[in-house]
Chain A
Amino acid sequence: MADLRVERLVHVYRESGVRALDGIDLEIRAGERVALVGQNGSGKTTLVRHLNGLLRPTEGRVLVDGHDAGSMTVAQLAARIGLVFQDPDRQIFAGSVRAEVEFGPRNLGRSGAELSAAVADALAATGLEGETATNPYDLGGSRRKLLALASVLAMRTPVLVLDEPTTGQDARGVERVRAVIEAAAAAGRTVVAISHDMRFVAEAFERVVVMRGGRVVLDGSPSDVFAEASWDALRSTYLEPPLASRIGGRLGLGSTPTDAALIARLREGAEGPAS
């Protein structure tokens, strides 16, 4: 199990001079499901690349299980933090689905039965178990993206970080991603994901961190972050709360970030006095 701590993290890109992170403090407990939301360019991707050492802080530090990530190599961090990038085509290289998924766990020194089990589980979770011998380039965009996810899942890292896992996915792919997140959380793994899909965020995560201009502007449960009191702050980052929240607010039902929450509240209202 792993917990993550980000302390006064500042990142300035050397080539462009852009201050992408402007003092982030964040603590993520082991087993939490956290969504990072914000406009393009708000610093979300820069933040997650610090978690596994691909980027190093300009100021501040990142702690993984209490150890300073600055003293670990990316290869060492990769055993604890699995990061799935947005674009699968920037990582797929192997001639078969199986070889692609084996690459990560092999780098971590896995072999034999342990390796086979990790690969089989990852392929089953992403629905690719029937494609082991397929050339990844023969898969459609949606399944290539699931393959990239499987290739990191198979590393069985205590922390899973996903950069926009649902973009370019069809409805079935989105459901797969959601099932993977829930199974990972059920197994006690920490999940951090970047997403623009507020409805997905409200339904699949227990905590939402909203970023703007390299800072955290809101941090709480979906119920808090999508509550009416937060709408102005949310809109200042050009984000809209999910439809269920907007309807719940309009009907004076309190915070209803998901369809299920809204409908439950409506049924309470129909059956007894609303509180």
Chain B
Amino acid sequence: MSLQLTGVGYRYAGATAAALLDIDLLLGPGEVVGVAGASESGKTTLCLVAAGLAPRTVGGQIRGTILLDGEDVDAWPMHRLSARIGIGFQNPATQLSQVAGTVFEEVAFGPMNLGVPRNEVVSHTWAALETLRIENLAERDPFRLSGGQQQLVAMAGLLAMRPEHLVLDEPTAQLDPEGTRLVGDAIARLAAEGASILITEQKTDLLAAIAARVIVLDGGRIARAGTADDVLADPGLAELGVAPPAMHRLRRAAADAGVAPGTLGSLDG
């Protein structure tokens, strides 16, 4: 259950400059790797490349190698990859299948496509809905939900596919704090079951809570990489357009004011 990118570069069709350069990244089994960075730093492109959609669906030119559980996926068609790697986009409205009249069918869409037996489709769908506490929406029309609700439905649709590898592009952008917490818990639980997960987020507090390692992108390159603790405590984070997590920011402000950070205690929760 590993996903490895070595020396990966990518350029969109018609673009003069590369969107990604020299990306080396290893996602081990059960590992959550966070991706931070300013807007336009390459986070979304990295998601498309890691999930195989760029260049397969998007076009453009790719360099370097991507190994899925040790196998080179270069020649794989998209449907073969999609059975192994799930991807969630920022805008939940575009992820609706358009052929589901109810949230239940929407969430079941992925496993149905994969040909999972009917009773398992049903149980996986219920489990995904329950994990995100949206069972009460099961009969609703997915088109008539708020942005936040659609984001939870889209996330449930990915969970129901039981992916071994999952790529998530700002999955909590439209969510309130409670929704963010539920999605964070769901990601942590999926990783605990062995999935490898790549997640981009502006909410570094969420990355601090669930990611073991974090990379920071700047101009399409990896500017920082390391354990979540080290990278998120880096004093240069703000210059890269990334807001440090609340605890790190508070500790630094305390140190700057001459107050021993230890007095703050270890209140991370």
Contact = CB atoms under 8 A, between A and B. Distances in A.
Scoring B37, B38, B39, B144 by chain A CB atoms within 10 A of each residue's CB, the highest score goes to B39
12 contacts: A16-B144, A40-B176, A40-B179, A141-B90, A170-B37, A170-B241, A170-B243, A171-B242, A244-B250, A259-B249, A259-B253, A260-B253
B58 interface: no
B62 interface: no
B39 A266 contact: no
Interface residues of B, number: 36
A243 B147 CA distance: 27
A135 interface: no
B249 A40 contact: no
A239 B180 CA distance: 11
Interface in B237-263: 238, 241-243, 246-247, 249-250, 253-254, 257-259, 263
Nearest to B37: A170
Interface stretch (B78-86, B104-112, B167-175): B167-175
B265 interface: yes
B263 to A, nearest CB: 6
Given A142-B40, A251-B265, 18 more contacts: A38-B176, A39-B178, A40-B148, A141-B39, A142-B39, A143-B40, A170-B37, A170-B241, A171-B38, A196-B175, A198-B177, A242-B246, A247-B264, A260-B253, A263-B259, A266-B259, A266-B263, A267-B258
A216 B242 CA distance: 33
A3 B144 CA distance: 34
Contacts of A39: 176, 178
Given A259-B253, A263-B259, A238 B176 contact: yes
A128 interface: no
Contact of B250 (A141, A243, A251): A243
Contacts of B17: none
A98 to B, nearest CB: 21
Given A142-B38, A143-B39, A263 B253 contact: yes
Interface of A: 16, 38-41, 86-87, 140-143, 167-174, 196, 198-199, 238-240, 242-244, 246-247, 250-251, 259-260, 262-263, 266-267, 270
A246 B265 CA distance: 11
Contacts, number: 96
Contacts of A250: 265, 267
Contacts of B264: 247, 266
A251 B177 CA distance: 24
Given A174-B243, A247-B267, A167 B173 contact: yes
Interface string B25-53: 00000000000011110000000000000
Contacts of A168: 90, 170, 173, 202
A16 B170 CA distance: 30
A141 B250 CA distance: 28
A266 B250 CA distance: 12
Given A243-B250, A259-B250, A171 B241 contact: yes
Contacts of B241: 170-172
A199 B179 contact: no
B149 interface: yes
Contacts of B238: 171
Interface of B: 37-40, 90, 144, 146-149, 170, 173-179, 202, 238, 241-243, 246-247, 249-250, 253-254, 257-259, 263-265, 267
B250 A262 contact: yes
Contacts of A246: 267
A140 B40 contact: yes
A170 B267 contact: no
A171 B243 contact: yes
A170 B174 contact: no
Nearest to B258: A267
Contacts of A172: 38, 241
A3 to B, nearest CB: 29
Which 3 pairs between the two chains have the least Cβ-Cβ distance? Answer: A142-B39, A140-B40, A238-B178
Contacts of B243: 170-171, 174
Contacts of A244: 246, 250
Contacts of A259: 249-250, 253
Given A171-B238, A172-B241, A259-B253, A243 B247 contact: yes
B48 to A, nearest CB: 15
A243 B265 CA distance: 12
B39 A170 contact: yes
Nearest to A166: B202
